[in-house]
Structure 1
């Protein structure tokens, strides 16, 4: 039989269905299906390409964020904190290394394995709870109950009845609370010391903060660290870190100025977390440690967590920057010793037994640099400490007396109520319904602007207040001011130009000013003019005398002059000299400068009239009530005098400005015959400061 050619057309469809009898164009059918398939592939490929483009380009940041959020965060460790130096680069605050054993979570460990590991760690590194120590180093009664329940997991059900169990079985916290209430002290005594130690470590291991390892033991020895590093495989998740404790110089007593480092306080937590800190970080708590936290803290190092292995450092971070302070540690030491010496000296007088403290600030009037700052206070046991914050806060404000008289003279000259050579007779003033007013001694006679400062004439200052207030003094008559409130306001505006009654702007976290007098009674304007109304602290006085000394520019005081790179000590940031305001009447300023110089050269003051460094100054005393507790628990109310002093030198080109307040330096009944403790202390300090320069 002859084989049919498969390509021949079939013409005989007998016996076939109608559909099969039709001609079929196979090429056409295949072409259509192929095209459809290719089109489908193109569409799918297009969708895939678009999706990849969307993921990798358009939404790359979003998916990167999701990736990072689902990764185990690196462990962050604080780097070494910056140190502090005095102006001559003498070390003030340094770091002492302290090693600690830490734990980072290992996901593969079950709680039973964690407990076994905790028991092993507590045994090898002698870690035990200290019931006499701080809260974090001991087990609370609630902790012990939790331990008992874990140890007696099967027996704990027997502590409650079936009826009680039915009531609380669906509420885990209530069930646990009920169980704990049934645990007695005798039951807790069953927990062995080894079990307590193991769970103590376990609780620490489980108290993990995101991105921070748990500190298991602080202050470990080098032998313990060596053992741990040689046996890391036996202690998965464990490692050691080096932390740093702050060590403060004992050459001077400036702890309250430097401040301290500690845990983040609750009220500051949101702020520090927003700045990128961890809740476990140590930060500056107060003082300069707090003020310059952003420089001192440095940048954390980062470690990658690998289960069972030593964390791998991925970022070394950066050490904190150092601070160069304006303080001269040798001068600071001298001030502290001098104040203590003079307090002890005046206390030898039975009528000056209440004298227990003295405040002093020394600065460079040309820059605002604080060279020394002290508020030496005597404790009941006879020892002293430097409560330096008293110089900055309202706890150290007092009426300061005649040291404000130069500002009163400047104001009067600038307001034009008197000329520099106009004379006023210093004689008792008799004002209706008021006690007689006098200067500190009789027989002063006629005084002008300069000699009024030389002799510290109260009468001259009273007359200035009267003139400023638009009143007129008539012996034995009433004293009526046109507008006492406006005069008080005017006087405070002038005093504030020198820094009295104003925030000084010092680079310290807290600063407070003195109190305003309690009333605007017109007669108090006279007291205001001689420093017996508003109160000030020693820092305000120092800004005041510095403004006089440097030619009338009020500068912000500064405790830190530079921020330095830790390794190179190159300047990273300079705390610039900052003017606040300038006195406009240079002639009036010159008059009060000359008055303060004459006060010394005439022998009226305490500044060594023949000293080669040519000091200028002004002393003051101010009355106030003081409660003394040295003789009775209820205290004894005394009427006392504060001693005050301001000075600068050399007169022609000042290098230092000094302010001093000695609260309750004498009983008021001692009168004017008692020496001014602040004047004597200032003279001693100045003489020592300049002894090698002249």
Structure 2
């Protein structure tokens, strides 16, 4: 018993000692942890205290993209045709903490130092300014009931503000002075863009005095800076100007599109034609700057995280010297024609030159006669070569003959009777020279520009049997068939040109118009309309072996050069793009090409003005009798209850040299003279322009050959698979 009690006491004592030891260990561990914590706090406060204080004040990091100049544009010979010119600029950068009052104060001071147009100030801007400057009068325009709805949250802020704006009278807005409008113009520019991103206030026409004045007062103009910006410069003036396109601020209706592609609201973009089509190439790589601000929104550090690089350069297929000379040819001819008051409807003229083998456009000239308040002037209308369409007349007869081959209606050398076609209810239709006693073949038909031969092809396509004065059944399907054939040449189809806004011409599908007589008109180019670009593609397709090659304006894409003056490393060379291959044999193509030769060189040829110019050319002339619905139709005829007058288009397609064509061209002169018998105004404008164009081309080529700088011809070999795939 005593033994057991002794053991119990001993066990209790051991247990007590064990617990005490564990408690000591625990207290020691806690001591060590607190010591480490105190040591760490000491390090944080004493050693790194200042650094962490600064970090706490760094409330935001913002990455700002800085704009860079766009890529340059060169012609095919390396001549700069679009450059970037440094200009003085006034910019403004707002922070996250900048208030509207502070911005208005800066705008007021800045408006006294620079002149800024108020044209961009919108009605909404003026209304908002009036509300800002007349708060009590603005609030008085809201009824108690409306204010109660607003306070209860049943009327949104936008609707509340709109009620005020709608009730501001014209008399109240007229209270705003011209000086206030100038302030508002500056303020409006300051509001656009993002925080910490410089926004251009003025970069056009900044005078030296304005630049110096602003620079001297930067201390009193927080956020304002005087710097250097860039603007597009055109060393050749208005030559090719409309095709090159424009660069300006992002249009309002495209803001979301560009924001989704990492653009800023204050960026400049290409808004038309070449600048628009190649925006991604020309835009360049922006520099990126990480900006760190403190709690007050002040910039305390900036770090360049990506170096900017101006956009890549474009090398065009255009020969700017040739373009300049041909624009002058077109302008001179248009001025000469407009000197005669009888040509009151004629107001435009077009000429396109292309390498028929590669599709490279060498020149695309268009001019328009415009009556302005200062008097008439000739303006650039180069874009009209692919955006406007007209009846082309007999120029397209080569396509009609080749379509006849494809359809099995005729074969090379087929003879048909050239006679007047007579349908009930339709005026008689025939060739310009009347009838011939004997049948003629396709070569003679092209040489003398026979309408009757083309009419017989069209009737044959319909499957009808022609009997004079008897009706024939020609349905819409025959129109569709002929249009599909023509589309293989590019007539009535997209040419594939690397520019936006292309017209495919007009093709009516109104059943009332799809009658036998109109099918005959279609076969001679007097029904559907075509662009000058479609016409040069058509003749190129015939003479290059049947390959419909897409016209191209851009030849190469290159990196910016180190010296910023010459061509940089090649990024991409544009290859000829074949859209389709004609379903004609080479023998058939050669036969029509021979017909084109006879048209220019045969004894009955309609284009004999091309004889004796030092080269052999081929092609086809055209004269289309049309009803005028041009820009003066409403003013001169419709408004007076008068019928639209009949007039004439003068057209031409051609190529040279005949044996190995290196250049194809088209000429289109709409509404040249009234369509009346024996008109004294009748003349061959098409041949006038065409012969001068080839003269310019070959003179320039000879000059360069003598200088040792002639371009090498490029030939295109196309397989059937490539033609089917449109490669």
Matched residue, 1:152: none
- Is 2:57 the partner of 1:72? no
Q: Distance in 1 between matches of 2:517 and 2:146?
A: 81
Secondary structure of the equivalent of 2:696? helix
- In structure 1, the residue matched to 2:245 is 259
Give the equivalent residue in structure 2 for 1:453. 446
Match of 1:623 in 2: 625
Deviates more, 1:284-293 or 1:463-472: 463-472
1:489 equivalent in structure 2? 480
For residues 346-385 of structure 1, what are the structure 2 equivalents within 5 Å? 346-347=337-338, 351-380=342-371, 381-385=375-379
Report how far residue 442 of structure 1 moved. 3.0
SS of aligned partner of 1:332: helix
Query: Do residues 578 (structure 1) and 577 (structure 2) align?
Result: yes
SS in 2 for 1:465: helix
Deviation for aligned residue 1:434: 3.4
Q: Is the CA contact (8 Å cut-off) linking 1:233 and 1:308 kept in structure 2?
A: no
Unmatched tracts of structure 2, length 5 or more: 34-55, 703-727
Partner of 1:647: 654
Q: Is the 8 A contact 1:357 1:378 kept in 2?
A: yes
**Deviation, structure 1 residue 685:** 0.8
The alignment partner of 1:355 has SS state of coil
Find 2:113's aligned residue among 111, 126, 132. Answer: 126
Pairwise CA distance, 1:332: 1.6
Compute the RMSD of aligned alpha carbons.
4.4
Secondary structure of the 1:474 match is coil
| Paired residues of 1:252 and 1:332 also in contact (CA < 8 A) | no
Shift of 1:627: 4.7
Deviation digits for residues 288-347 of structure 1 (CA, Å, limit 9, x no counterpart): 111010011111223344636796654331101121112122222222222233233344
Counterpart check, 1:559 vs 2:553 = yes
Question: Is 1:529 aligned to residue 518 of structure 2?
Answer: no
* Structure 2 residue 13 is matched with structure 1 residue 23: yes
Rate the CA distance shift 1:656–1:33 in 2: closer, same or farther, 3 A: farther
Q: CA deviation at 1:102?
A: 3.0
Aligned residue in 2 for 1:691: 699
Change (3 A) 1:531 1:146: same
1:324 to 310, 315, 323: 315
Partner of 2:87: 98
Match of 2:271 among 285, 288, 296: 285
Instruction: Give 1:208 shift.
Output: 5.5
CA change 1:244–1:138 in 2 (3 A) is farther
Structure 1: distance between partners of 2:593 and 2:97 = 79
Greater CA deviation, 435-444 or 28-37?
Answer: 28-37
Q: Distance in 1 between matches of 2:391 and 2:259?
A: 43
Q: Is the 8 A contact 1:405 1:461 kept in 2?
A: yes
Q: 2:230 — aligned with what? A: 244
Deviation at 1:89, TM superposition (A): 2.1
Query: How far is 1:199 from its partner?
Result: 8.6
- Correspondence 1:153-172 to 2 at 5 A: 170=151
Cross-structure match for 1:498: 489
Counterpart in the other structure of 1:507: 498
Q: What do residues 649-693 of structure 1 show as CA deviations (whole Å, max 9, x unaligned)?
A: 011111111112111112111459933211221111112211355
- Once the 2 structures are TM-superposed, how far is the Cα of residue 265 of structure 1 from its aligned partner? 2.3
Structure-1 separation of matches of 2:587 and 2:495? 25
Cα distance in 2 for partners of 1:129, 1:253 equals: 30
Q: Is the 8 A contact 2:655 2:664 kept in 1?
A: yes
Q: Show the counterpart of 2:589.
A: 589
TM-score, normalised on structure 2?
Answer: 0.77
Deviates more, 1:681-690 or 1:426-435: 426-435
Which of 535, 544, 561 is matched with 2:538 structurally?
Answer: 544
1:276 aligns with 2:254: no
Matched, 1:463 2:456: yes
| Structural mapping, 1:283-322, within 5 Å | 283-305=269-291, 307=298, 313-322=304-313
Match of 1:337 in 2: 328
Q: Does 1:662 align with 2:669?
A: yes
Structure-to-structure mapping, 1:40-119, within 5 angstroms = 71-106=60-95
Of residues 410-419 and 132-141 in structure 1, the stretch that sits farther from structure 2 once superposed is 132-141
Q: Which moved more, 1:668-677 or 1:594-603?
A: 668-677
**Could you say what secondary structure the match of 1:373 adopts?**
strand
Gaps of 5+ in 1: 1-10, 13-17, 44-66, 150-154
Shift of 1:544: 0.3
What secondary structure sits across from 2:13 in the alignment? coil
Q: TM-score, normalised by structure 1?
A: 0.80
Shift of 1:162: 14
Whole-angstrom distance in 1 between the partners of 2:172 and 2:683? 71
Change (3 A) 1:34 1:332: farther
2-structure distance, mates of 1:112, 1:327: 53
- Deviation at residue 243 of structure 1 after TM alignment: 2.3
TM-superposed deviation, 1:453: 0.4
SS at match of 1:398: coil
Looking at structure 2, the residues matched to 383 and 595 of structure 1 have their Cα atoms a distance apart, in angstroms, of: 40
Q: What is the DSSP-based 3-state SS (H/G/I as helix, E as strand, rest coil) of the residue aligned with 2:655?
A: strand
Q: Assess if the C-alpha contact under 8 Å between 1:237 and 1:308 holds in 2.
A: no
Q: Distance in 1 between matches of 2:253 and 2:620?
A: 45
Mapped pair 1:425 → 2:412: no
Query: Residues of 1 paired with 2:182 and 2:454: CA distance?
Result: 75
SS in 1 for 2:525: coil
- Aligned to 1:682, the other structure's residue is in SS state helix
Distance in structure 2 (CA, Å) of the matches to 1:470 and 1:222? 77
Residue 213 (str. 1) matches residue 198 (str. 2): yes
CA contact (8 A) 2:312 2:557 kept: yes
For residue 583 of structure 1, report the CA deviation from its aligned partner.
1.9
Shift of 1:268: 2.1
Counterparts of 1:179 and 1:470, CA distance in 2: 69
Over 3 Å counting, the alpha-carbon distance change for 1:207 and 1:507 in structure 2 is: closer
Mapped contact 2:326–2:696 kept (Cα < 8 A)? no
1: CA distance between counterparts of 2:79 and 2:473?
A: 59
Please state how far the C-alpha of 1:400 moved relative to its aligned partner: 1.3
Query: By how many angstroms is 1:514 displaced?
Result: 1.1
**What is the alpha-carbon distance in structure 1 between the residues aligned to residue 389 and residue 329 of structure 2?**
21
Q: Across the two proteins, how many residue pairs are aligned to each other?
A: 643
What do residues 87-134 of structure 1 show as CA deviations (whole Å, max 9, x unaligned)?
A: 122222222223333333456777877777666x539x725776x543
